[in-house]
Structure formats: structure tokens, C-alpha cells
Structure 1
Amino acid sequence: MGRFLSKENLEGFDKYKYNSIDTSVLSNYVMHPFWNWCVQFCPVWVAPNLLTFTGFLLTVLNFLLFSYYDYGFFALTEAGGDGIPRWLWAVSAVNLFVAYTLDGIDGKQARRTGTSGPLGELFDHGLDSYSAVFIPACLYSIFGRDELSPLRMFFVIWNIFINFYLTHWEKYNTGVMFLPWGYDFTMIGSCLLLLITSAIGPKAWRVALPGGLTPGVVFELVLYLSAMLTSQTTILFNIYKSYRDGTGKMRSFNEALRPLYPVTIFFAVSSAWALYSPSDIVDRAPRLFYILTGTIFSNINCQLIVAQMSGTRCSAWNALLLPYTVCCVASLTILNPTAELLLLYTLTAACTVAHVYYGTRVVQEMCEHFKINCFHIKPKIK
């Protein structure tokens, strides 16, 4: 079936050492002490990757529950009542907090059990790149399409994707993972937002604020502004500083920008489909369109993570972009709404299978190379 990791990739993983800097006040003074307390209750036979995967599945579970009760992101019924049961908001808040906690203690469990290694980081960040679509899609149901159109939410999700991707692009060029401040605040804020909604219901957010704003618009603006002020500018400065001080990878200008090519092409093509769809496909099937976008984004991001961790050259293209671009062109030229929707369903299914297969094979190849098991800690030979 072919291999996804080259000999150069695997040799790079052999030399890899994790290097990160976390200056977040919330992370260092609140969350890490809490995670240190939590991890002591975790049995030493539990594999760290099992914690990571369980947390990821909780975000998928939230997405599936919201898909059942609010597939079209309306939040409220036609009569103006709550379309989503109050218990679901509370359950999703707990699930998200548990997922966030498991994501925080998996590395600590790895060090505690002596199983730290490249696979754990790749597995963790790879699943995080997929969760980047599942979590905001659940939050969208708080406000719904009456507050925020599906098209605008599409670009909000892309804003989250770009911030996530740039963090790994930053490490690709600097060799250091600068953990963003916004992640911890966003996760805690999201949990609180879901918990509050369980008490007051989504209808309570339909209020007018000073200046003609609404909570949905404030939610949108906060995500954009925080991205620009706390993430994107910091990333660019860190890369500049690494070149100025000679501490980074010191790649040429073209090589430094190379990882941005596939994600830029994908953003351009997906935006064209969203903006110029003859049948307004984003409005007709927003949840499906988001998942398709998130799946291909995760695949592009995972390939960047592999290159960044193994110290190899990042690909300037992604194989999933070819069928996606072909389907986009076909959709823009075929004026049949049913055909466009069928194309979206088919492409989503195919890309999901391809991405899951890619992720599974990469993990298997790393396990074979390091002679380890992804979800099981081998007992030490005395």
C-alpha cells in the first residue's frame, strides 16, 4: 500500500528533541498545577496516547451530538424556543474540559511512565489539528446562523486554522514550539460559554449590545482580534528574531515560505467555492462543508508537523488538493444544486477515509520504527 514516511523522515525522528517555550500566565500558574495534580490519579499502565485519543473522541462526540440536535446551526426552533436540550450544553462543556485536561496531562503521563518520544507529540498535535474544526462547530450552535451567517463562520473557522498552522510553521523555521497564550484562554472560555448556555439557553444571547453589536458579532471579532494581536504578530516576530540572532533553521526565503504554499492554495480554492457556489453550498450544507475543509486542513497540517519534527523539507503540495480543486471547478460550472450537494458528500467521505488512512499508516510506521505500541506500554524487562 506504500509508505508515507521516508527513510529521511525516520532518521530525523531519531534525532528529534522537543523544544518549547510557554509564557502563558494561565497555563503556568493555573493549568499546569492542576494537571500535575490530575495526572497522579492516572494509572501508570495507561498509555499517554490513549489519553490523547480519548480527549479527541470527546470532541468528536460533542460534534455528533450537536449534529443530531442542530444539524443546520439554527440553535432555536422556528417558534423561537430552544432547539437543543439544556443537558447537551452541560455535557458538551464537561466533555470539552475533560478533553482539554487529557490533552494537558498526556505529556506529563509520558514523562511519568518513561515513554516520551516523537510519536506522542505527532499524535497529539495531529489530532489537535482535526479538533480545530470540531470544537468551533459546536460553539457555532450557541449563536446560530441568525447571529452569524454560515459563510462568516466559515472564515472564522479558517482564522482558527491559520493560527494553528502558523504555530507549526513558526517551529519549522525556529526549531522552537512557542505555545500560544490564546489556546488556554480559548479552551477555558469555550467551556464556560457552553456551561453558561446550559443555564440560560441560547435564546438569552439574542440581545442587542451598545453600538448595534450582538454577542455573535462580539464572538467573531474577539477571535479575529486575538489572533492578530496575540498570535500572528508574535509568530512573525519570533521568526524574524531567529534569523536576526542566527538561532533558527536559517532557511532561504523560499524554503522558509514553502509550508505556506499548500495551505494558501487550499484557502483560495475553498474560499472561491464558498463565495461563488451557484447553489450557495455553505448555506445549504454548512456542517458538511466545514468538516470537509477541516479534514483537508488537518492532512496538510500533519504533513507540516512530520517535516518540522523530522527536520526534512516540507511539501509544497498536498495530494488531496487535486480532487478538491477538480470538484470545486465542477461545482462552479455545474448549476445543478443536487449534483453539487452530491459532489460535496462524495468528496467529504473520500477525503475523510484518505486522511484517516494517512494518519493510521504514519502511526503504524513510527511504531514499527521505534518498536513500540501506540496504545499500550510495554512492560520493562528486568
Structure 2
Amino acid sequence: MFISKEGLQSLHNYSFKGEDHSFCANHILAPLIWEPLLKNVIPRWLAPNILTTIGFISMTVAWIILAITVPTGTEPIHPIIYLLTIICIFIYQIADNVDGRQARRTKNATPLGELFDHGNDSLMIGIFALVVVLALKTTTLLTLSVLLMLYLIFFLSHWEEYHTGVLILGPLLNPTELQLMVIGMLLGETVYSDIITISIFGFQVNTTIAFCVIFGAFGALAMYSYNVYAFIKDTKKCSFKDSLKRLFPFMQFFLLTGVLFLLTDEVFIRNNFHSIVAITILLNAFITQRIILNRICKEEVDSYYYINIIYAFYVFLMVCNVQKDLITFIMLLISIGQEALFAVIVSLTMSKEIGINVWTVKQWAE
């Protein structure tokens, strides 16, 4: 399930290719925080996947705190909540950047480690996006629209990597800088809670940021599409039409979620805000994890996943106002179950094939 026999064989030829040109990561955070932690605090016997899991737990704690204190997505956020969220983001950022370094240091860089890391990122981007939209304090519809666009941007980066085989993080506006910008925004709101809603030259800051994200997402679509087109034109590994077909599973989710956000009663969405957002975070993560797995295993991307069919039925019932509380609860359980099933089966299958343990290092250099 999830991986073919041919895909399992491809794991033995695995090699990660990535370029991180982040100024803050390479010239500030790495020499001042990440490398000293690796050298003086993190033991060599600690599995990289445990570090990844620490980051996951940290952001999950942030989500739980927000779900309790901002249940409808419209409540004012206390400065202490901002500070706790900042701490959680910072812990996640450290864990997300030292896990790969720990893998290379202990000679335990594996395809499972990459999937574990980037699969975790696909969940965390949803929670991170939730933090952003709650901090913006916009209308419910605009909040959900920004959330959906952030899903799109993240997926497109992995769609590009599927074709090029290289994950390239630019010198500016990559994950590290964006995380620091959000931390700065949260710090600003901690000091002055209304800073995000002030107007500058007649433009309200939060609304302006929200629309910049929305239009930026379409700009990202154009940029990633061009990059894939140029790569295919040079290498002739496939047709551009084939590359667009690999967007189908995500675009199904994207369009269905757009319908859900637009046509579902706004009062119901506010009263069930975190349940509905959780469903979209989990489905977006699953679809993104599938294309990451397909790339690692050198397999073709499916045209659709059965979870999208279930999701389409859910959206239809929601729009028709059929037992919305019940079907939302059921859809949430299905989404959690699907993600858990994928994580367990793929982890066990890959670890067995390449002869490693998910939670321990196979060897490390003294």
C-alpha cells in the first residue's frame, strides 16, 4: 500500500539534492544557534526523526493553545498566547533545521528521514498558516482564503521539486525568513495588539497583507509553472501536459475547499473553525506527502485519491446543509485516520526495506 515494489527498489538509489541560500539561516542562525546546539547539546545517538518529532509536538502545542483560546478564529489574542506561539515556532524552526544536520553528522541520511522531515513540514505549514491568518485578524472568509493560498504555495514547491529533483530555497522569503517575519509580527502584536489593524496611507495593514498573499500565490503558480516548463524543455523528461496532470489531486482539493469556504454558512464555520481547518490541514498534508513519496520512489502521481472523493461528498453535504455537525466530525475522524495510516504504513515499509529503525540511529561517527 502506497509504495509499489519498483518504488521500494528505488529507495536504494536515494540521494537528496537541496540548496538553501537563506541569508539568515546560513549567516546568523546556523553559526549562532543550530551548529552550537549540535556540537554541545544534541548527542550523536539521538535519531534525527526524534528531532523532527519534537518540532511536530511544538507546533501541535501551539495549535492546541490557539484552539482553546481562539475557538472561532475571531477572538482577541492575549499577549501571553502570542509569546507562547513564538516559542513554539522557534522550537519548530530549530528542530526542522537541525534534524537534517544530525542525519548527515551521524551518517543516517535516508529517504525515510527526508519523507519524515518534509512530510512533517506539510502538516506544520498548515498550523503555521493558521497562526498567520489568526494574527492578521481579518474576516472569516478572507482568513480562510489566505490559508488556502498558503497551502497552494507550499504544494507548488514540491510539485516543482518532483520534476527538477532539487529543492531550492532562495536567499530571501524562504521558510526561515518567513518564520522570522511571522515571529516579528507576533512580537509586534504582543507589544501593541492593534498594530496589525492600523491604516497606512489609507490601506489597512492586515487586509493589505492578506491580499498580497493571495495575489502572491498566483504569482508563485506562474513562477513554479515556468520553472517546471523550462526544466522539461531542457531535459525532455516528460511533456508539460503530463506535469500539469500531476497537479490534479491537489487542484481537486483546492477547488473543493474553495467551495466549502465560500458556500458553507459562515456562522457554522466560526463555531466549528478548528475542526474544519484541521480537515483541510490533514488533507493538504496527505496530498503533499504523496507527491513527496512519489518523487523519492520515482513513481507517477495518481490522478486522484479516494480521500478526495470522500471529501467531495462531504463538501456536497455541507453545501446542502445536511447534518453538518455530524458529517464534519466524521470527516475529521477520516482525515486523522488517513494521515495516521499513511504515516505508520509508509514508515514501517520504508524502514524494513532499507534496514533502519525510525527512532534510532544505525551508526554514528565519533
TM-score w.r.t. structure 2 length?
0.92
Q: Is the 8 A contact 2:160 2:224 kept in 1?
A: yes
**CA shift at 1:316, angstroms?**
1.1
What is the CA–CA distance in structure 1 between the aligned matches of 2:21 and 2:223, rounded to whole Å?
12
Q: Is the 8 A contact 2:25 2:176 kept in 1?
A: yes
What are the Cα deviations for residues 277-296 of structure 1, in whole angstroms up to 9, with x where unaligned? 25664344222211111111
2:243 aligns to what? Answer: 256
Q: What is the correspondence of 1:143-158 to structure 2 with a 5 Å cutoff?
A: 143-144=136-137, 148-158=138-148
Number of aligned pairs?
A: 362
Residue 175 (structure 1) aligned to one of 165, 172, 176? 165
Q: Is the 8 A contact 1:75 1:142 kept in 2?
A: no
What are the Cα deviations for residues 231-269 of structure 1, in whole angstroms up to 9, with x where unaligned? 4444233223323332xx711233212220011111111
Q: Is the 8 A contact 2:246 2:301 kept in 1?
A: yes
Q: For 1:102, give the aligned amino acid.
A: A
Q: For 1:235, give the aligned amino acid.
A: Y
Q: For 1:47, give the aligned amino acid.
A: A
What is the CA–CA distance in structure 1 between the aligned matches of 2:362 and 2:289, rounded to whole Å?
26
**CA shift at 1:108, angstroms?**
0.6
Residue 25 (structure 1) aligned to one of 23, 26, 29? 23
Q: Does 1:122 align with 2:119?
A: no
Residue 236 (structure 1) aligned to one of 219, 225, 230? 225
SS at match of 1:376: coil
Residue 343 (structure 2) aligned to one of 355, 359, 363? 359
What is the CA–CA distance in structure 2 between the aligned matches of 1:352 and 1:328, rounded to whole Å?
17
Q: Is the 8 A contact 1:168 1:308 kept in 2?
A: no
**CA shift at 1:36, angstroms?**
2.5
Q: For 2:340, give the aligned amino acid.
A: V
CA RMSD after TM alignment: 2.2
Q: For 1:193, give the aligned amino acid.
A: M
Q: What is the correspondence of 1:329-348 to structure 2 with a 5 Å cutoff?
A: 329-333=316-320, 335=321, 339-348=323-332
What are the Cα deviations for residues 133-163 of structure 1, in whole angstroms up to 9, with x where unaligned? 111212333233xxx1222111211111111
What are the Cα deviations for residues 196-215 of structure 1, in whole angstroms up to 9, with x where unaligned? 32233x3443323322x222
Give me the identity figure in percent: 22
What are the Cα deviations for residues 66-97 of structure 1, in whole angstroms up to 9, with x where unaligned? 11111112232xxxxxxx43222112101101
Structure 1 residues 367 and 137 mapped into 2: Cα distance closer, same or farther (>3 Å)? Answer: same
Q: What is the correspondence of 1:57-96 to structure 2 with a 5 Å cutoff?
A: 57-76=57-76, 84-96=77-89
Q: Is the 8 A contact 2:108 2:362 kept in 1?
A: no
What are the Cα deviations for residues 163-185 of structure 1, in whole angstroms up to 9, with x where unaligned? 11111111111122122542222
Q: Does 1:277 align with 2:242?
A: no
Q: For 1:243, give the aligned amino acid.
A: I
What is the CA–CA distance in structure 2 between the aligned matches of 1:278 and 1:242, rounded to whole Å?
43
What is the CA–CA distance in structure 1 between the aligned matches of 2:90 and 2:289, rounded to whole Å?
24
Q: What is the correspondence of 1:183-262 to structure 2 with a 5 Å cutoff?
A: 183-200=175-192, 202-211=193-202, 213-228=203-218, 231-246=220-235, 250-262=237-249
**CA shift at 1:301, angstroms?**
0.8
What are the Cα deviations for residues 303-341 of structure 1, in whole angstroms up to 9, with x where unaligned? 1001111111111111211111112112222x35xx112
SS at match of 2:199: coil
Structure 1 residues 238 and 280 mapped into 2: Cα distance closer, same or farther (>3 Å)? Answer: same
Q: Does 1:307 align with 2:306?
A: no
What is the CA–CA distance in structure 1 between the aligned matches of 2:176 and 2:45, rounded to whole Å?
28
TM-score w.r.t. structure 1 length?
0.88
Unmatched runs of 5 consecutive residues or more in structure 1: 77-83
Structure 1 residues 37 and 233 mapped into 2: Cα distance closer, same or farther (>3 Å)? Answer: farther
What is the CA–CA distance in structure 2 between the aligned matches of 1:219 and 1:314, rounded to whole Å?
34
2:38 aligns to what? Answer: 39
Structure 1 residues 204 and 178 mapped into 2: Cα distance closer, same or farther (>3 Å)? Answer: closer
Residue 11 (structure 1) aligned to one of 5, 9, 12? 9
Q: Is the 8 A contact 1:259 1:314 kept in 2?
A: yes
Residue 149 (structure 2) aligned to one of 136, 139, 159? 159
What is the CA–CA distance in structure 2 between the aligned matches of 1:6 and 1:268, rounded to whole Å?
29
SS at match of 1:115: coil
Q: Is the 8 A contact 1:274 1:281 kept in 2?
A: no
Q: For 2:196, give the aligned amino acid.
A: W
Q: Is the 8 A contact 1:130 1:298 kept in 2?
A: yes
